[in-house]
Structure 1
Amino acid sequence: MISIYELKPKFQQLLMPFVNNLHKHHVTPNQVTISACLLSIITGVLFYFNYDSRWIYIVIPLFMFVRMAMNAIDGVLAKKFNLTSRLGKFLNELTDVISDTALFIPFTLVTHTFSASVIIFITLSIISEMAGVLAEVTSGERRYDGPMGKSDRAFLIGVISVILLFKIPLEPYLHIIFIAASILIAFNIYKRVLGGLEESS
Structure 2
Amino acid sequence: MPTIYQLKSRFQDMLRPICRKLAASGVTANQVTVSAIVLSVLQGALLWLFPGAALPLLLLPVVLFLRMGLNAIDGMLAREHDQKSHLGAVLNELGDVVSDAALYLPFAALPFVPTELVIGLVVLALIGEMTGVIGVQIGASRRYDGPFGKSDRAALFGFCGFLMGIGLTTPILYQVLFGVGLILSALTILNRARNALRELETR
**TM-score with structure 2 setting the length:** 0.95
Change in CA separation of 1:149 and 1:139 when aligned onto 2, cut-off 3 Å: same
Give the CA deviation at 1:168: 2.0
List gaps (5 residues or longer) in structure 2.
none
Contact 2:135 2:196 in 1 (8 A): yes
Give the CA deviation at 1:38: 1.0
Residue 122 of structure 1: aligned partner: 122
How many residues align structurally?
201
Report the Cα distance in structure 2 between the residues aligned to 1:76 and 1:113, rounded to whole angstroms: 37
Which is further off, 135-144 or 150-159? Answer: 135-144
The CA deviation string for residues 112-170 of structure 1, in whole angstroms up to 9 with x for no partner, is 35311111000000000000000122133111011110000001111111111221233
Residue 35 of structure 1: aligned partner: 35
TM-align CA RMSD = 1.3
Residue 147 of structure 1: aligned partner: 147
Report the Cα distance in structure 1 between the residues aligned to 2:67 and 2:111, rounded to whole angstroms: 23
Residue 110 of structure 2: aligned partner: 110
- Three-state SS of the structure 2 residue aligned to 1:55 is helix
Contact 2:112 2:170 in 1 (8 A): no
Which is further off, 175-184 or 75-84? Answer: 175-184
Contact 1:164 1:170 in 2 (8 A): no
Correspondence 1:171-186 to 2 at 5 A: 171-186=171-186
Percent identity, aligned pairs only, is 39
List gaps (5 residues or longer) in structure 1.
none
| 2:73 pairs with 1:73 | yes
Report the Cα distance in structure 1 between the residues aligned to 2:170 and 2:22, rounded to whole angstroms: 40
Report the Cα distance in structure 2 between the residues aligned to 1:62 and 1:34, rounded to whole angstroms: 18
Change in CA separation of 1:155 and 1:76 when aligned onto 2, cut-off 3 Å: same
Contact 1:163 1:170 in 2 (8 A): no
Report the Cα distance in structure 2 between the residues aligned to 1:171 and 1:19, rounded to whole angstroms: 42
Give the CA deviation at 1:111: 4.9
The CA deviation string for residues 27-76 of structure 1, in whole angstroms up to 9 with x for no partner, is 11011101100111111001111122111122100000000000100001
Give the CA deviation at 1:80: 0.7
- Three-state SS of the structure 2 residue aligned to 1:142 is coil
Which is further off, 108-117 or 22-31? Answer: 108-117
Report the Cα distance in structure 2 between the residues aligned to 1:19 and 1:40, rounded to whole angstroms: 20
Residue 165 of structure 1: aligned partner: 165
Correspondence 1:15-94 to 2 at 5 A: 15-94=15-94
Counterpart AA for 1:199: E
Contact 2:112 2:169 in 1 (8 A): no
Residue 191 of structure 1: aligned partner: 191
